[in-house]
């Protein structure tokens, strides 16, 4: 690896760390290089350590930052996990369209109960997120009032731009879909398929952009300790809802797949596996975030880690 | 507080006990006395943590490579860790000896094949 390549490795570390130790680490990498090349193990070690430093600097690992920041990091991890969960939920909603129409009445009992549970838990999770946003409404207004808008202007601009693009693509795809047969809409028209893929990308981009904006904004807010504690409870409620949705969606999938509904095409159910995998991963991350936030709240606002 | 034997921070504190060293010298020294080759990322992770806790500190240097030395607090932590480890090693040695004697008495064929230092 060239000197420039070694310098690129530093990008895995947070800026503050690079400013303090970056030069020394580069010197060490230079000494470790044989014929200008690093071993793969060395490369992986630096990447792993760099990502670890990033987690530490944002409060998701170790006790180097105060409990207040660890609570905030844990809650924001739950929020980010929820965003991934929403994307999986949209895919599930699309996949499950008309499932009752194609499933024999005698086989609808269990999947209907599971699907209702998915909806109820999803609504409860969404309400927790909305309540969490409302809780920090005052700090957000304070941030804007004190001239803090430039700190979030960039990510907010991106989010608004991607949202506008998604709206345009959505309208175009919906108009196009009305002129196509059901067969053409479901894989018969390759060009429409591409447009639909573009719409999916836009939706994922929109959810991601707003999540980044929310995280950037939340990191700039001065949030009272009491509000952080309440945010932790809401994060716990969101995580419980995510666990319930994941479990119920899995039950629904197994129940529908076991009936002669024909909802799932023959072969390996890639999409459903991707949906459930995303839900399980997001729920696992949310559990991690909630656990970290709860642990930090027990230390109190004044405690500072070693 | 107790450090673990496989913790890079303990290896690093041990290495710095014999005098200030920079990153590459630390890697070579640790490999020489412990047979462990730390990765550069792992080493600087440990350096970061130890410096934050005030257990090591950088030594002023004109060279690009910055040496580090152990602080009084670091020496105290290392002493406590070594005492912990010594207790464990002593206990393990005593138990292994007793087990060897018990097996020897039961079978009359000698000790079980257990490696000790």
Alpha-carbon gap, residue A225 to A28, rounded angstroms = 42
Token code pair at residue A302 = 């004044």
**Segment 221-260 of chain A within 8 Å of chain B by CB:** none
Please give the pLDDT value at position B1: 42
Given A24, A47, A64, which is nearest B23 (Cβ)? Answer: A24
Percent of chain B past pLDDT 70, that is, above it, reads 84
Q: What is the pLDDT of residues B82-93, one digit of tens each?
A: 999 999 999 999
**Cβ atoms of residues A219 and A75 within 8 Å:** no
Note whether ipTM > 0.90 here. Answer: no
Task: Give alpha helix (H) positions in B1-117.
Answer: 8-16, 23-34, 40-52, 72-107
Name the nearest CA neighbour of A293 among A217, A214, A242, A237.
A237
- Which of A10, A26, A27 best probes binding to B when mutated, by most B CB atoms within 10 angstroms? A27
Phi, psi torsion values for A65, nearest 5 degrees:
-105, 155
Per the DSSP assignment, residues forming a β-bridge with B58 are: B68
Please give the pLDDT value at position A58: 87
The domain limits of chain A are 3-57, 67-304
Q: What is the pLDDT of residues A162-217, one digit of tens each?
A: 999 999 999 999 999 888 887 877 777 888 889 999 999 999 999 999 999 999 99
Rounded to the nearest angstrom, the gap between the alpha carbon of residue A57 and the centroid of all alpha carbons in its chain is: 19
Q: What is the pLDDT of residues B13-53, one digit of tens each?
A: 999 999 999 999 999 999 999 999 999 999 999 999 999 99
Mean pLDDT per 10-residue interval, chain A, length 306 residues: 79 94 92 84 94 92 88 96 94 83 79 92 96 94 90 92 96 90 79 90 95 93 93 97 95 81 69 91 96 90 50
The answer to whether the pTM exceeds 0.95 is: no
Given A21, A42, A64, which is nearest B39 (Cβ)? Answer: A42
Put simply, the answer to whether B40 touches A46 (Cβ < 8 Å) is yes
Alpha-carbon gap, residue B64 to B52, rounded angstroms = 21
């Amino acid at each position: 690896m060239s000197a420039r390549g070694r310098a690129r490795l530093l990008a895995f570390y947070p800026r503050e760390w690079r400013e303090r130790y970056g030069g020394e680490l580069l010197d060490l990498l230079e000494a470790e290089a044989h014929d200008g090349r690093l071993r793969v193990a060395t490369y992986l070690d630096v990447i792993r350590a760099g990502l670890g430093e990033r987690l530490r600097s944002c409060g998701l690992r170790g006790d180097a930052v105060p409990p207040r920041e660890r609570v905030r990091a844990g809650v924001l991890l739950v929020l980010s996990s929820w965003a991934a969960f929403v994307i999986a939920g949209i895919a599930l909603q699309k996949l499950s369209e008309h499932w009752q129409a194609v499933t024999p009445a005698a086989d609808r009992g269990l999947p209907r109960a599971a699907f209702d549970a998915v909806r109820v838990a999803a609504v409860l999770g969404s309400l927790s997120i909305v309540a969490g946003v409302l809780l920090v409404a005052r700090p957000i207004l304070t941030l804007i009032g004190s001239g803090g808008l430039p700190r979030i202007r960039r990510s907010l601009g991106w989010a608004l731009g991607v949202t506008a693009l998604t709206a345009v693509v959505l309208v175009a795809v919906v108009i196009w879909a009305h002129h196509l047969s059901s067969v053409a809409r479901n894989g018969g028209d390759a060009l429409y398929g591409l447009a639909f893929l573009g719409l999916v990308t836009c939706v994922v981009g929109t959810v991601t952009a707003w999540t980044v904006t929310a995280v950037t904004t939340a990191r700039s807010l001065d949030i009272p300790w009491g509000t952080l504690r309440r945010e932790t409870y809401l994060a716990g409620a969101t995580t419980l809802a995510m666990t319930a949705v994941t479990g119920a969606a899995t039950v629904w999938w197994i129940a529908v797949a076991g009936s002669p509904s024909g909802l799932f095409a023959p072969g390996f159910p890639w999409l459903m596996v991707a949906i459930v995998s995303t839900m399980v991963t997001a729920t696992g991350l949310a559990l991690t975030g909630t656990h970290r936030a709860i642990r930090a709240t027990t230390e109190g606002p004044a405690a500072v880690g070693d | 507080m107790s450090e673990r034997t496989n913790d890079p921070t303990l290896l690093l504190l041990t290495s710095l006990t014999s005098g200030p060293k920079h990153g590459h010298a630390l890697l070579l020294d640790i490999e020489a006395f412990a047979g462990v080759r730390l990765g550069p990322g792992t080493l600087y992770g440990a350096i970061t943590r130890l410096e934050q806790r005030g257990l090591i500190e950088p030594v002023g240097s004109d060279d690009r490579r910055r040496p580090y030395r152990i602080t009084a607090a670091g020496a105290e932590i290392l002493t406590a860790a070594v005492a912990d480890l010594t207790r464990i090693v002593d206990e393990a040695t005593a138990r292994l000896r007793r087990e060897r004697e018990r097996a020897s008495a039961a079978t009359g064929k000698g000790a079980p094949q257990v490696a000790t230092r």
